[in-house]
Amino acid sequence: MDYAEYRRFDAVGLAGLVASGQADAGELLEAALSRLDTVEPTLNTVVYRLDERARARAREILTGPFAGVPFLVKDLLQDVAGTPTGSGSRALAALPAERNALVVDRWLGAGLVIFGKTNTPEFGAKGITEPEVNGPTRNPWNPAHTPGGSSGGSAAA
């Protein structure tokens, strides 16, 4: 599936494609990863990529209302076991989470395929996403501008 087709659907629509057999989780994930590769040098939305982990999950039999849908989590309070939750802070950037946050477990239970963690200002405390440790996230409509605060990486993605 190419990005032009992928972008025509929201999460419910993508889940419907998987449920009906018109697409599989691997196809959707590769479309999302390809798009991320295209925009990332400019936008700086994702601070931790989980490509291989996501590919392994996409090969599993997934259940739930969003089975097979690619998903990004915010790098603030949304721990993914074995992956740092840096919270935009140099002090936490390399410290892996011991377990998933409850919300992450629920998203996984819904069948989502997490493929990365998005940029955030340090501890979500600013109205712009420009942490020293990860660099600024840019607005996709105008890269000279910020996409805004705490969820800037998510918003730009």
How many domains, the chain?
1
Select from 102, 93, 97 the least CA-distant residue to 83: 97
Residues 141, 51, 66: CA angle, nearest 5 degrees = 75
The predicted-structure confidence for 119-142, as pLDDT tens digits, reads as follows 999 999 988 999 999 999 999 999
The residue-averaged pLDDT of 107-118 equals 98
In this structure, what CATH number is given to the domain that contains residue 53? Answer: 3.90.1300.10
Cα separation, 13 vs 99, whole angstroms: 30
Q: Where in the sequence is the domain holding 142, given as residue range(s)? A: 3-156
Q: How much is the pTM?
A: 0.95
